[in-house]
Structure 1
Amino acid sequence: MINTKYYIFVRVGTLRARFRNRMLRSNQLITSTPKLLRKFFSSKSSSVLHRPSSEELEITERSKNLLVMASSCKIKDQFHEFFPEMLRCLKNSPPLHKLPSMQEWVEKIVEYNLKGGKMNRGMAVVESFMILKNHQVSEEEKNTAIALGWAVEMLQAFFLVADDIMDGSLTRRMKPCWYRTNNLGVKAFNDSILLESLIYQIVSSYCKNQHYYLPVLELFHDVTMRTSLGQAMDLHSAPNPNEAPDLSKFTVETYDAIVKYKTAYYSFYLPVAVAMRLAGIQDNDLLKRAEDILLPMGRFFQVQDDYLDCFGDPEITGKIGTDIEDGKCSWLIVTALPMCDSAQRQLIEAHYGLKNTESVNLVKSLYQQFDIPKLYTEYEERSYKELTQMIEGIKHQLPTSIFQGFMEKIYKRLN
């Protein structure tokens, strides 16, 4: 029995080794497991009244974590394997089945814009659902969760295609942005609208006759609206073409509002809320408790994204950052502005939002003077501790592994 468990643990570590952010923690965990397991299974006490030692509790928790990792690997394979079925369903839907040329175009759009990412949002639907159901689900239930996971990825693709056009971005997921392919230009904006419409084809195809159909539909509509509002706030805080940004708009309050609506709702709250609805959870108070953790987690994620836009490696992030050139209200600029003296503020006013290498480098140099990388590291550690405490506080209402899974994926991430 010990050898079998040990093999599973080592195999899991091997499968997950390609994920750089998690490799070190996984290897440390696996290395320490055999000794702990031997001590645990050689325990002579079998009394019902036996109180587990801290070491035994540690073994149990580590075993659970590794089994969750094994399940996550399996879910990822199943998630990708379901893609052709989801695409077939879309192409055969009533609006498309008599339009072969549009079937081909939709397939091209979906293939290009949904594949190549980490799929964290979509898989979070499936993983959260499996945890909430204690992994006791039918094949049909699992497929529905996977389909809705792809619907979340479709929502992500819809926003990214439109966002890249508005920002004039060059690359996405280590390849040209969609609008820069097929000689599309701004015509690609209609493809973003197509992607949004496909979300509701998926929801209808897989949920129409289920009790959770309306709640899930309302979730997608509500989150789409909130994210669009966040995108609008982001655009309104940015400068008009050929104009300098209004730095008076770049406040922490403005930044927090943008992040909450533009990122946190669809990236963190939506996947878990969909899973909770699928699992039959109708308690709005529980949804609110989950939201109270997931929205701050979304802020944590966006701050990371802002930092990586400036200081990340494009070969790892898959995109070339443009926040400085675009004059974005990012965490870096709202952190730096209060530290500026008059000369430094004038430098930012003169160069922030200009699309030339010299101006970008001057702003980055100023960030280095303010020790922004160090401040970011401190923020990351502080946020991780605060979120961990929040997760601990919900353990009697919802499985903490749902939220810990998110943290495992984003903590210390490089892309």
Structure 2
Amino acid sequence: MADAKALKRTRFTDVFNTIRDEVLEYVKAQNVPADALEWFHRSLDYNVPGGKLNRGLSVVDSVEILKGRALTDEEYFKSAVLGWCVELLQAFFLVSDDLMDSSITRRDQPCWYRTEGVNLISVNDAFMLEAAIYYLLKKHFRQEPAYVNLLELFLETTFQTEIGQLMDLITAPEDHVDLNKFSLEKHRLIVVYKTAFYSFYLPVALAMYYCDIPHTHPTLPTVDPYKLASSILIPLGEYFQIQDDFLDFSGTPEQIGKIGTDIVDNKCSWVINTALSLASPAQRAILDENYGRKNPEAEKRVKEVFYAVDVPGKYYKYEEDAYKRINGLIESIPVEGLGAEGQVKLQREVFTSFLNKIYKRQK
């Protein structure tokens, strides 16, 4: 199993090497100096391929599920190009976000802006990572019927994510704690716009467009497969982030691979918002006084309130309810799939594969 996962990652990474070199060749052809080319090369290698690659690999996995067979070499390559475009988008967001948040590390290494000589040049580096997406789409999909849909999907998703980032930045700045700005509805909006669209809907919608799944269905004219996919994947993304928030509070460093920092960083997480909705006036006063403080004792007092109002119990109930609700949405897709005869059909398995990966995860 581990070997199969490693081989899958290696094959996907081989495509990155190809598309990275294509982008660098394009930049080189603009007659830029060697030091600028080397800088961009280093930025691509440092910021794009080092994560879990779940978003990018999800494009390839979804195409394979939709087609119901092993992919040809060309189909795999094009699916992987789309997957790497998602990873480039992720890199663009992370390089920018780390600078805005004054973060220290990312993926077990210093954030890009903190590497020697980079600092605010990282703003332009982030722009270049984003621009590489559109060069690759033009190079590999310009002649495809789905080209405009792919372009519009990336542009729309980018705008949605930036809206989510804006809401997050003005709701929970690290240097100014105001829990009156927090609410479960505000948290939901931030999660949907900042995470769910690009992490869950984007990879599947890209796969659907690549497989030429239309927006209309000949026998079910009122059903848009893309709206149906969004109605499943956005709640799935919301569930994933709430799970992440809970693990940041409850998980050990050995379990989740990091030290949870949401409390000291003043994050507008599901955990604090749930506690606020349940806290007595005395407990609320403790949260107001201690949340978002860079102080282990303050963090401890906040956690004591979280346990006192039974945040874990509320989370476990939420998880079971979310799992049932999302499964119900998935079951709204006909067993035989959604699509016309002779065409690629939207399958339940696209969504169950996501849900099964994250249900009751511990890291």
SS in 2 for 1:287: helix
**AA aligned opposite 1:321:** G
SS in 1 for 2:263: helix
Aligned residue among 314, 323, 328 for 1:375: 314
Is 1:328 the counterpart of 2:237? The answer is: no
Contact 1:169 1:322 in 2 (8 A): no
Is 1:15 the counterpart of 2:2? The answer is: yes
Is 159-168 or 227-236 further displaced after alignment? 159-168
CA distance in 2, matches of 1:318, 1:117: 13
Task: Give 1:318 deviation, angstroms.
Answer: 4.5
> Deviation digits for residues 139-159 of structure 1, max 9, x if unmatched?
222211101100001111111
Equivalent residue, structure 2, for 1:150 = 84
Contact 1:119 1:153 in 2 (8 A): yes
> Deviation digits for residues 175-198 of structure 1, max 9, x if unmatched?
222222225334423322222112
Classify 1:204/1:320 alpha carbon distance in 2 versus 1 (closer, same or farther; 3 Å).
farther
Contact 1:90 1:201 in 2 (8 A): yes
Equivalent residue, structure 1, for 2:180 = 248
**AA aligned opposite 2:172:** A
**AA aligned opposite 1:170:** I
Aligned residue among 131, 134, 142 for 2:65: 131
Matches within 5 A, 1:7-406: 14-15=1-2, 75-94=8-27, 98-99=31-32, 100-135=34-69, 137-239=71-173, 241=175, 243-245=176-178, 247-283=179-215, 285-315=224-254, 317-395=256-334, 396-397=337-338, 398-406=346-354
TM-score, normalised to structure 2's length?
0.88
Classify 1:108/1:311 alpha carbon distance in 2 versus 1 (closer, same or farther; 3 Å).
farther
**AA aligned opposite 1:265:** F
RMSD of aligned residue pairs (Cα, Å): 2.1
Contact 1:154 1:198 in 2 (8 A): yes
TM-score, normalised to structure 1's length?
0.78
CA distance in 1, matches of 2:214, 2:351: 19
SS in 2 for 1:93: helix
Contact 1:228 1:262 in 2 (8 A): yes
CA distance in 2, matches of 1:362, 1:329: 18
**AA aligned opposite 1:238:** A
Q: Give the structure with the larger helix fraction.
A: 1
> Deviation digits for residues 158-179 of structure 1, max 9, x if unmatched?
1112222222222222222222
**AA aligned opposite 2:25:** N
Contact 1:172 1:319 in 2 (8 A): no
Alignment gaps of 5+ in structure 1: 1-13, 17-69
Contact 2:16 2:49 in 1 (8 A): no
Contact 2:290 2:298 in 1 (8 A): yes
**AA aligned opposite 1:402:** V
> Deviation digits for residues 281-313 of structure 1, max 9, x if unmatched?
121501001110000000001101212233333
**AA aligned opposite 1:289:** L
Contact 1:75 1:127 in 2 (8 A): no
CA distance in 1, matches of 2:319, 2:213: 32
Classify 1:361/1:143 alpha carbon distance in 2 versus 1 (closer, same or farther; 3 Å).
same
Task: Give 1:337 deviation, angstroms.
Answer: 0.4
**AA aligned opposite 2:311:** I
Contact 2:103 2:111 in 1 (8 A): yes
**AA aligned opposite 1:203:** L
Alignment gaps of 5+ in structure 2: 217-223, 339-345
Equivalent residue, structure 1, for 2:360 = 412
CA distance in 1, matches of 2:324, 2:62: 22
Which structure is larger by alpha-carbon Rg, 1 or 2? 1
Classify 1:105/1:183 alpha carbon distance in 2 versus 1 (closer, same or farther; 3 Å).
closer
> Deviation digits for residues 198-223 of structure 1, max 9, x if unmatched?
22122122112211111100000000
CA distance in 2, matches of 1:317, 1:220: 30
**AA aligned opposite 1:364:** K
Task: Give 1:319 deviation, angstroms.
Answer: 4.3
Contact 2:174 2:266 in 1 (8 A): no
Task: Give 1:279 deviation, angstroms.
Answer: 0.4
